[in-house]
Amino acid sequence: QSVLTQSPSVSGTPGERVTISCSGSGSNIGSKSVTWYQHVAGKAPKLLLYSNNQRPSGVPDRFSGSRSGTSASLAITGLQSEDEADYYCATWDDSLNGWVFGGGSKLTV
Amino acid sequence: QLQLQESGPGLVKPSETLSLTCSVSSGSLFSTSYSWGWIRQPPGKGLEWIGTIMYSGSTYYNPSLKSGVTISADTSKNQFSLNLSSVTAADTAVYYCARHMPQRYCSGGTCYPTGSLDIWGQGTKVIVSS
């Protein structure tokens, strides 16, 4: 059972907009910024967003993030087949004194 | 571009100690306040943070694994290592090493590695089996 809760799966068609949600509590999302990762099987996880909504160099602006209270969300616009992957939210948890991940959301395009 | 590379045995017997090393390609491990972490992904499951060693040498471990985990660093070799003792089949996973961004949260004189894990190794598969 993950500390952060994500929907196991989400799907969309090319060009569509999808959102992936991540729910936590006051000791994690409620007090610390959220990170999002994209993970394609067999490859290293890729940092997608940090500090809730900041994109590292090279990440397209089709990817955006937000945080409100104890929840966060990742939005992907202009869905492409190459976006098919597992997406994880993560953040620091003050009660556990450690990083926690969501269970992951499998995006099917 | 900084690269991380995990190395270690791909097969470990139950009750033994799993030992992995992460080699950092350039720079000096703790010279610019970076912290370094280990993460794993069991088959069919999600990512799980194992622990982190900070630039200060402080370590933080996943409470669910804490008693068996040790992370250490060898700055002369630009490497950091993971030891996981008394392994069981549940420790079978792909193990990743990664760098934390320099952000940290400090409270009461203690600092925590709250920077996102931005650069990851390719991962190494470890099977626990007799």
Q: Do A104 and B105 touch (CB under 8 A)?
A: no
Sort out which chain A residues have CB atoms less than 8 A from B6's CB and list them. none
Task: Tell how strand A5-6 and strand A63-68 pair up.
Answer: unpaired
Give the pair of three-digit tokens for residue B109.
Answer: 């004189």
Residue A20's pLDDT band, with cuts at 50, 70 and 90, is very high
pLDDT of residue B13: 98
Sort out which chain A residues have CB atoms less than 8 A from B112's CB and list them. 92, 97
Residue whose entry in the numeric block shows the structure tokens 């760098």: B99
Instruction: Give the number of beta-carbon pairs within 8 Å between A and B.
Output: 66
Q: Do A35 and B116 touch (CB under 8 A)?
A: yes
Q: Do B120 and A88 touch (CB under 8 A)?
A: no
Q: Is A53 on the interface with B (CB under 8 A)?
A: no
Q: Do A32 and B114 touch (CB under 8 A)?
A: yes
Give the pLDDT confidence of A23-32 residue by residue, as tens digits. 999 999 999 9
Q: Report the Cα–Cα distance between both ends of chain A, in Å, rounded.
A: 26
Burial pattern A56-77, b for ≥16 Cβ within 10 A else e, equals eeebeeebbbebeebbbbbebe
Contacts of A88 (CB under 8 A, 6+ apart): A6, A36, A37, A39, A45, A101, A102, A104, A105, B46, B47
Q: Which residues of B touch A (CB under 8 A)?
A: 37, 39, 46-49, 51-52, 60-63, 96, 101, 103, 105, 112-114, 116-123
Give the pLDDT confidence of A39-95 residue by residue, as tens digits. 999 999 999 999 999 999 999 999 999 999 999 999 999 999 999 999 999 999 999
pLDDT of residue A1: 84
Residue whose entry in the numeric block shows the structure tokens 């008394």: B86
* Calpha distance A100→A7 (Å, rounded): 16
Strand partners, B48: B40
Q: Do B121 and A39 touch (CB under 8 A)?
A: no
Q: Sign (positive/negative) of CA torsion B61, A73, A6, A4?
A: positive
Per-residue pLDDT of chain B (130 residues; tens, 9 = 90+): 899 999 999 999 999 999 999 999 987 787 778 999 999 999 999 999 999 999 999 999 999 987 899 999 999 999 999 999 999 999 999 999 999 999 899 999 999 999 999 999 999 999 999 9
Q: Is A32 on the interface with B (CB under 8 A)?
A: yes
* Calpha distance A73→A52 (Å, rounded): 9
